[in-house]
Structure formats: C-alpha cells, structure tokens
Homo-oligomer: A and B are copies of this chain.
Amino acid sequence: MQIRELSKHAAVPAKTIRYYEEIGLLPPPPRQPNGYRRYSETDIERLKLVAGARRLDFSLEEIKELLDLRDRRVAPCQVLLDLLDKKAEEISTRIAELRQLERTLQELHTIGKTFPIDDVEGKHCVCHLVSTGLPGPVADDAGAQPRIGE
C-alpha cells in the first residue's frame, strides 16, 4: 500500500502522514525499490488511533505517549481513560471561558450601540469601551478579568 491509499483509509492527508513520521509518531515504513513508502494494515490501525485521538483534541505529544506505551507492550487504556477525563475538564474550562467572552461581547455590543458611531478620538464610543475593559456595574462574576493571551 502506498501513502495515498493509507491516507484514504485513515482520512489523513499524505502530507500529514509524512509529517507524523518526521516527528516520530509513525515509524519510518520500508521503502519500495523506487523509494516509495510501503505501508501495511497495522499502519492503518496506528494512524486511525492517531486521527481518532486528534479528533478528541489530544495533542500530538499526548498521542505519542500513548503510542510509546503500546510500543513497549503496555496497554495504554488506563492512561487513555485518565486522559479522556483530563481533556474533558480542560474542555469544560475552555467552554466556561468562551461563555464569559460571549457575554462580554454581547454586553459591549449592547452598550456600544447607544454610543455615537462617529467619535474618532473621544471617549463616547465602543472603542473606548474596548480599551478600558467593561465598565464596572455589569454582573457579579461576569466582567471580572478576562485574560489576555493563554
């Protein structure tokens, strides 16, 4: 099987497969006489696991650890379960942050609409609102401190 076929089986671009090999996620496959990569069924399985884990938002680093376990004949199931747990928590935290952000955006929009829209430099404009952060009296836990970066 050449790279393209593996690519189709696992729904992962060939380019990405080469990249995974480069970073050591997939083992370098044997080559055909012409230098083309030759893959087997087990490569499909491995790549599918990678793709599945990626869909679950696992980092390549995390996936690598799972695969390394398996390569050392240790069943990664327990680790994977823990990872699922951890990831679920991360996601839920992220959701909360985004919800907060959503609220902030809506509030800014609402307040901003009541301001003139042609105030280039002055203080009565959404822009000022954005640069100062939300005005105080909004909600208890709402406009606390949105964080920069992350």
Contacts and interface: CB of A to CB of B under 8 A. Distances in A.
B92 A95 contact: no
Interface in A86-109: 87-88, 91-92, 94-95, 98-99, 101-102, 104-106, 108-109
B88 A105 contact: yes
Given A55-B147, A95-B95, A109-B85, A119 B75 contact: yes
Interface residues on A, range: 35 or more
A130 B98 contact: no
Given A88-B105, A92-B102, A148 B81 contact: no
Contacts of A56: 101, 104-105, 108, 130, 146
Nearest to A109: B84
Contacts of A1: none
Interface of A: 11-12, 45, 48-49, 51-57, 66, 70, 73-78, 80-81, 84-85, 87-88, 91-92, 94-95, 98-99, 101-102, 104-106, 108-109, 112-113, 115-121, 125-127, 130-133, 146-149
